[in-house]
Amino acid sequence: MEREVRVRFAPSPTGPLHIGGVRTALYNYLLARKLGGKMLLRIEDTDQNRFVPGAEDYIRQSLEWCGITLDESPWTETPGPHAPYRQSERKPMYLQYAQQLLDSGHAYYAFDTPEELDAMRARLTAAKVPNPQYNSITRAQMRNSLTLPEDEVKQLLDNNTPYVIRLKVPRKEEIRFNDLIRGWVVVHSSSVDDKVLMKSDGMPTYHLANIVDDHLMEITHVIRGEEWLPSAPLHVLLYRYFGWESTMPQFAHLPLLLKPDGTGKLSKRDGDRLGFPVFPLEWHGKDAETGEPTVSSGYRESGYLPEAFINFLAFLGWNPGTQQELFTMDELIETFTIERVSKSPARFDQNKVRWYNEQYLRAKPDSELAQYLLDALKTQGVDVPAAKAEQIAALVKERATFPADLAKEAQLFFHRPTSYDEQVISKKWNAQVAGALAEFAQQLPAAADTTADGIKALLTQVLERQGIKIGQVLQALRVAVTGAAAGPDLMAIMSILGAEETAQRLETAISNLAAHASA
């Protein structure tokens, strides 16, 4: 019988969730939903020394904001069938699996002190060994249950001498597995060290807990970052030694996310240096060296829409094989295949995520954009009817990248200009233009049609009588009404402002610029 697809996202609560982690969660989610499977979240908190308060809740909020829903997690209302979903709460069960490996001869006790381990590495470094490690060769010179007499090992254990349990990696063996993205991966066991499976504090390491939990939670696909690729051979060995090879999940190791210049892995420091977020939500933490409070920017607080953020992330390493770039979450689910994920690193492009935000923002209904505008104006003490806010939002949205830009672009409707673009005034403002605009201002309040088309028709009539071409006047008219040389459609601006307000602004400009007109 075909197994139900079950994927998992397994973050550690050691700080904010990097966008690379969000991408990993997203690809897991897309695959599960595409194949009608389940999406699990497991908190991997075996390293208690790195635990950061608030990090788990940050992960939960981030996934909720992104629209990545979970079928089983520590936070679901009813416990899932494989609860608990925090490894720290599963601690008692791991020892039996470590014991199983000890009993089968695939693991051993190691009693080496930190000083002895340092001395071993120093010896290997002095011998010019490129990658000093505890492995099938060096373990023969160390203090472990493979080199010590059985009675001495028993005595050390009885005396509660600190120890770790290490995996016994074979010396000469090829380890192979078929990665869904990279194809067949073959690694010689001589390059794999005897990783610690259980630490001296009784907590399992990532390697043991990860394999045991994935097996018990019936995970069918492990989609994770490229940084875990070197650990995959070790995990394959663990599945083999436990006798679980027939149900071992399929592996897929995602490409790295690179800095914008492509020179290395994207980090928080890159975001700080170049002025863009690398976290989905704002993170309040502490400086590692000084302990001083720090704030790292987030995409949500920076004005990015979750659907734009997700669409952008999906394309960092995957493509649909078509020219289509804009995808809803449902469309991503329908289109996504793991086979179209590239093994090549994906370069981060901040301009592209801004582009996505523009597309999604401008595609929103004008009524929704108006609400963004009304909320912002309310904080400024500006009260405006909803219908007018919708008109303004519709007009200025093509100049907006973020919701906050709507209010910035809308300021011209609520504040008369206090200065005028000098370059336009010096070139375009003269007595003839001022005279034509004065007549236009005089006739505006009595105009029967104050739509954009009606205002343009009235302006054309005035200019024809004055013998002036519209191109000679438009820039000066815009500056007189808004103070700026560029902006949204001028006729629409004047229609929204209304005939009276537009006329008053023109009269004020004519008065203020009288000296230019006579020059």
How confident is the model over 434-461, as pLDDT tens digits?
999 999 999 999 999 999 999 999 999 9
Under a CB-based contact definition with an 8 Å cutoff, are residues 436 and 479 in contact? no
The whole-angstrom distance between residue 127's C-alpha and the CA centroid of its chain comes to: 44
Strand pairing partners for 286? 293
Give residue 331's pLDDT: 98
Helix, strand, coil proportions of the chain in percent (round to 5)?
50, 10, 35
> What residues contact 394, with CB distance under 8 A and at least 6 apart?
366, 369
Under a CB-based contact definition with an 8 Å cutoff, are residues 72 and 40 in contact? yes
Give residue 69's pLDDT: 96
Give residue 283's pLDDT: 95
Give residue 272's pLDDT: 82
pLDDT band at residue 267 using 50, 70 and 90 as cut-offs = confident
* 290 has a pLDDT exceeding 90: no
Give residue 96's pLDDT: 95
pTM: 0.92
**Residue owning tokens 């635990």:** 51
Give residue 1's pLDDT: 60
pLDDT band at residue 2 using 50, 70 and 90 as cut-offs = confident
Taking residues 145-162, what's their average pLDDT? 96
Catalytic pick from 268, 343, 352, 388?
Answer: 268
Tell me the CA distances in angstroms from 515 to 80, 430, 495, one per residue in order: 78, 9, 29
The 10 Å Cβ neighbour count of residue 327 is 18
CA 137, CA 427: separation in Å to the nearest integer?
83
Give residue 48's pLDDT: 77
The encoded tokens of residue 152 equal 């001495």
Tell me the CA distances in angstroms from 248 to 2, 239, 245, 351, 511, one per residue in order: 14, 7, 5, 40, 82
* Model confidence pLDDT, tens digit, residues 200-258: 888 899 999 999 999 999 999 999 999 999 999 999 999 999 999 999 999 999 999 99
Taking residues 20-40, what's their average pLDDT? 97
Query: Of all helices (H) and strands (E), which one includes residue 253?
Result: strand 250-254
456 tagged catalytic: no
> What residues contact 240, with CB distance under 8 A and at least 6 apart?
none
The encoded tokens of residue 453 equal 């088309």
Query: Of all helices (H) and strands (E), which one includes residue 222?
Result: strand 221-225
Give residue 79's pLDDT: 80
CA 358, CA 343: separation in Å to the nearest integer?
29
Q: Where are the beta strands (DSSP E) in 255-353?
A: 257-258, 283-286, 293-296, 346-347
> What residues contact 280, with CB distance under 8 A and at least 6 apart?
17, 19, 22, 62, 65, 66, 298, 299, 300, 309
Under a CB-based contact definition with an 8 Å cutoff, are residues 437 and 510 in contact? yes
| Amino acid residing at 222 | V
* 519 has a pLDDT exceeding 60: no
CA 102, CA 178: separation in Å to the nearest integer?
28
Tell me the CA distances in angstroms from 131 to 136, 140, 143, one per residue in order: 14, 17, 20
Q: What is the largest CA-CA distance in the chain?
A: 114
| Amino acid residing at 114 | P
Q: Where are the beta strands (DSSP E) in 339-422?
A: 346-347
**3-class DSSP state for residue 86?**
strand
> What residues contact 87, with CB distance under 8 A and at least 6 apart?
42, 43, 44, 45, 46, 204, 209, 213
Under a CB-based contact definition with an 8 Å cutoff, are residues 274 and 258 in contact? no
Give residue 489's pLDDT: 96
Give residue 386's pLDDT: 95
Backbone angles phi and psi of 41, in degrees to 5? -125, 130
**Residue owning tokens 């963004």:** 372
* Sign for the pseudo-dihedral over CA of 146, 147, 152, 157: negative
Give CB contacts under 8 A, 24+ apart, made by 461-464: 462/436, 463/436
pLDDT band at residue 8 using 50, 70 and 90 as cut-offs = very high
- Count the alpha carbons within 13 Å of 456 in the hemisphere toward its beta carbon: 11
Residue-averaged pLDDT of the chain = 94
Question: CA dihedral in degrees (481, 482, 486, 488; nearest 10)?
Answer: -90
Under a CB-based contact definition with an 8 Å cutoff, are residues 12 and 47 in contact? yes
Give residue 499's pLDDT: 96
Give CB contacts under 8 A, 24+ apart, made by 49-56: 50/12, 50/14, 51/13, 51/14, 52/13, 52/14, 52/15, 52/285, 54/284, 55/13, 55/14, 55/15, 55/16, 56/13
CA 506, CA 129: separation in Å to the nearest integer?
82
Under a CB-based contact definition with an 8 Å cutoff, are residues 31 and 7 in contact? yes
Give residue 517's pLDDT: 63
Strand pairing partners for 6? 38
* Model confidence pLDDT, tens digit, residues 378-423: 999 999 999 999 999 999 999 999 999 999 999 999 999 999 999 9
